Amino acid sequence: MIIRSASFRDLARIEQLYREATEDERHGAQMTPDSPVPQATLLRLWQALTKSLSSLVPITDVSEEMLVAEDAKEGVVGFVQVQSISVRPRSWQILNLCTSTSAHGHFARAELLDGVRNQGLEHGVQRVHVRLPLDHPLLPVFLEHGFTQFATEQILYRDQAAADPEPSVKSTLIRPARRDDIGAIYLLYLRTTPSQVAAVEGPSLKTWQGGYAQGLIAALGRDNVRHLVVERPGIVAWAAIRPPTAAQPASLSMMCEGHDPALRDAIIDAVLAELPSGPASCVLRHYDSELIRALQQRGFAVYGTQLLLISELGEKVRINAPSRRKKPVLVHAGIARSVPSASPSVPLRVLSTTTTRRQRSSPR
């Protein structure tokens, strides 16, 4: 079996694999061990949030990469799609893993994950993330290949915003975030996140930017995502609003300290007022229970649960070759011994001091 990069000639077969894999879920059937996609209840929102079911032409995006598994007899039997986050250290996120139901497709899953690891090492990737629905059959496959679960996320969704009987007034509580706020947002993350989760996801500022919220912080001020913060006097809340597109609704990411419940509710109301009208989704961690309850009271419903897994790749280390020096001259290390000298060419004579001593004593 060969693992290689996908080409445009593979798109028809890739779409066929996807349709075959999702046919049973469309009819409400239960997931099987060969099901490579989220369960039916998460199908619609999963497609909108992570593009794992709709981005079947990733070759046109330079930030995405797709590998296919090709068998000599059956041809392409599976593919895996990863997305690169432009931050140092580099990290990848697996958006889709799909294989055929044949025996070759069953073994292709491990080969594709090994291919992702090998390609990541060649590109200097240090971490690979993946999000899977709870109790998905592919979970053991990822765990066997070095992935570790470190968090659980709740997907919340609302179809329409609640009608506001009073005209909305722009809140002065929040302000647009700047790139020099990234350090303070990271400190907010450390205060609101359990230490065992932060030790895995964000041991350093750069590592945290590459993995948290699918790299939203790393692109602050460089894309169309609106970042908002609340200062009292330090930053006590952060929110990121991604505008809706034809493929996905508006999405909200949020962090907030919970020491003051009244302030937290005011921050949530101010952030929701900034959301565009129409469907909206929000992904919160399992330890953000207060925020989850507050959003449920404001029209959001828990749509599903997904697991967040991570795999650490080996880091390339450059070893400097020793500098070339002139080869030293080797000398035989023997026991010291006396060597008879050759006879001198000039005759030697013995000098005596007897006469001098006599002359010095004559004046007496």
pLDDT digits (tens, 9 = 90+) for 311-326: 988 665 666 666 666 6
Pick 302 or 162 by higher pLDDT: 302
> Which residues form the domain of 189?
175-298
Q: How confident is the model at residue 37 (pLDDT cuts 50, 70, 90)?
A: very low
Residue 250 resides in a domain: yes
Residues 148 and 38 in one domain: yes
pLDDT digits (tens, 9 = 90+) for 106-124: 888 889 999 999 888 888 8
Residue 272 resides in a domain: yes
Res 175: pLDDT: 92
Q: For the chain, what is the largest distance between any 2 Cα atoms, rounded to a whole number of angstroms? A: 140
Pick 260 or 36 by higher pLDDT: 260
Res 323: pLDDT: 61
Residues 75 and 107 in one domain: yes
Res 59: pLDDT: 39
Res 43: pLDDT: 41
Residues 38 and 87 in one domain: yes
Residues 139 and 89 in one domain: yes
pLDDT digits (tens, 9 = 90+) for 200-237: 988 888 888 877 887 788 888 888 899 999 998 889 99
Long-range contacts of 241-244 (CB under 8 A, 24+ apart): 241/271, 241/274, 241/275, 241/276, 242/216, 243/276, 244/276, 244/278, 244/279
Residue 41 resides in a domain: yes
Half-sphere exposure (CA, 13 Å, Cβ side) for 193?
Answer: 25
- Tell me which of 150-159, 276-285, 337-346 is least confident: 337-346
Residue 256 resides in a domain: yes
Q: How confident is the model at residue 348 (pLDDT cuts 50, 70, 90)?
A: low
Cβ atoms of 292 and 154 closer than 8 Å: yes
Helix (H) or strand (E) holding 294: helix 289-296
Pick 234 or 333 by higher pLDDT: 234
Of 276, 298, 320, the one marking the end of a domain is 298
Residues 136 and 189 in one domain: no
Averaged pLDDT, 91-118: 86
CATH code at position 275: 3.40.630.30
Pick 58 or 31 by higher pLDDT: 31
Residues 51 and 92 in one domain: yes
Give dist(CA 263, CA 267) in Å, integer: 6
What is the distance in angstroms between the CA of the first residue and the CA of the last residue of the chain?
Answer: 118
Q: In total, how many domains does the chain have?
A: 2
Read out DSSP for 72-87? TTTEEEEEEEEEEE-S
Averaged pLDDT, 284-294: 93
- Tell me which of 58-67, 248-257, 278-287 is least confident: 58-67
Residues 50 and 116 in one domain: yes
Res 351: pLDDT: 61
Res 38: pLDDT: 40
Residue 91 resides in a domain: yes
Q: How confident is the model at residue 335 (pLDDT cuts 50, 70, 90)?
A: low
Asked whether residue 20 carries a pLDDT value surpassing 80, the answer given is no
Residue 117 resides in a domain: yes
Give me 43's structure tokens: 């199908």
Q: In the sheet that 148-158 helps form, which strands lie side by side, from edge to edge?
A: 2-5, 64-71, 75-85, 90-99, 125-133, 301-312, 148-158, 280-285, 250-256, 235-242, 226-231, 175-176
Asked whether residue 46 carries a pLDDT value surpassing 60, the answer given is no
Residue 281 resides in a domain: yes
Neighbouring C-beta atoms of residue 216, cutoff 10 Å: 18
Res 272: pLDDT: 93
Residues 136 and 215 in one domain: no
- Tell me which of 77-81, 109-113, 118-122, 245-249 is least confident: 245-249
Residues 141 and 179 in one domain: no
Residues 267 and 144 in one domain: no
Give dist(CA 183, CA 205) in Å, integer: 8
Residues 112 and 233 in one domain: no
Q: How confident is the model at residue 336 (pLDDT cuts 50, 70, 90)?
A: low
Cβ atoms of 152 and 286 closer than 8 Å: yes
Pick 142 or 36 by higher pLDDT: 142
Asked whether residue 125 carries a pLDDT value surpassing 70, the answer given is yes
Asked whether residue 28 carries a pLDDT value surpassing 80, the answer given is no
Residue 317 resides in a domain: no
Sign of the dihedral defined by the CA atoms of residues 135, 138, 140, 145, in that order: negative
Residues 126 and 33 in one domain: yes
